[in-house]
A = this chain, B = another copy of it.
Amino acid sequence: MTTKTEKLLLQRRSIRAFKPVTLTPEQCQRLMEVARQAATSTFLQQCSVIHVTDEALRATIREVCRQKYVGSNGDLFIFVVDLYRNYRLRQQQQVGVGQLHTTDVFIQGVEDTMLAVQSVATAAESMDLGCVFLGSIQNDIRPIIKALHLPQLTFPLIGLQVGIPDQQPQLKPRLPLALRTFDNHYQDVFDLNNFQDYDQVVHTYYDLRDANRRVDTFTNQIKKKLTTSQAQRNEILPVLHEQGLCWK
């Protein structure tokens, strides 16, 4: 029998319209406790969270994300890969930066950060809140690093806007499991023909959500979306290097 938590996860959808209220301090506290208890790679605890309440900061982030709901109703949290805290602990114990410049440790921090943000999103949904992940902070990450006063060895990875839902979007259809899961060995089963049924489902989904929105199949989206990118999206590796991350 499907559990209540499973149902939440199976019914998850991005909420992009929230009622004009903020979370209570108690709700925020509960969400942060969940972030705190999330799993952490080799116990390094390399994630920090910034709760952005200042209107000017919210406006900066909204501008980067180019979505009016960002930093608007509800509450905005930025989840930060944080290797700086451990750097400071090492520094005060007279040991050097050690492995903190490696891709290995950065990826561990990314894992901590993503485990935390997904846990918070699930908790929020269980509290009848809605949320949307904001990968769009990567549209131009330098202004965000500056605005939040993020030091070396940190990187703002993803945002989460949380609030009381003011919309009920449809569930967005996903690729069938046969195209995403494999037994023992990866298999190239990606003949375009195998995507035809799914393309039709995606096509229908968009039709229902918004008659004015351009309808596009999944395969056509992949053809178009990944072709070019805005300039700053190609600056992510340089910014990581500036932040002292992924040097080798």
Contacts and interface: CB of A to CB of B under 8 A. Distances in A.
B177 A107 contact: no
Contact of A118 (B110, B118, B127): B118
A237 to B, nearest CB: 4
A246 interface: yes
B80 A227 contact: no
Interface string A177-189: 1011111111110
A72 interface: no
A52 B183 CA distance: 6
A156 to B, nearest CB: 9
A123 B8 CA distance: 9
A105 B138 CA distance: 11
Copies held by the complex: 2
B185 A149 contact: yes
Interface residues on A, range: 35 or more
Given A89-B222, A93-B192, A223-B89, A51 B184 contact: yes
A37 to B, nearest CB: 5
Given A36-B180, A98-B228, A108 B135 contact: yes
A41 interface: yes
8 contacts: A43-B172, A47-B180, A50-B185, A50-B186, A86-B226, A102-B236, A107-B236, A149-B186
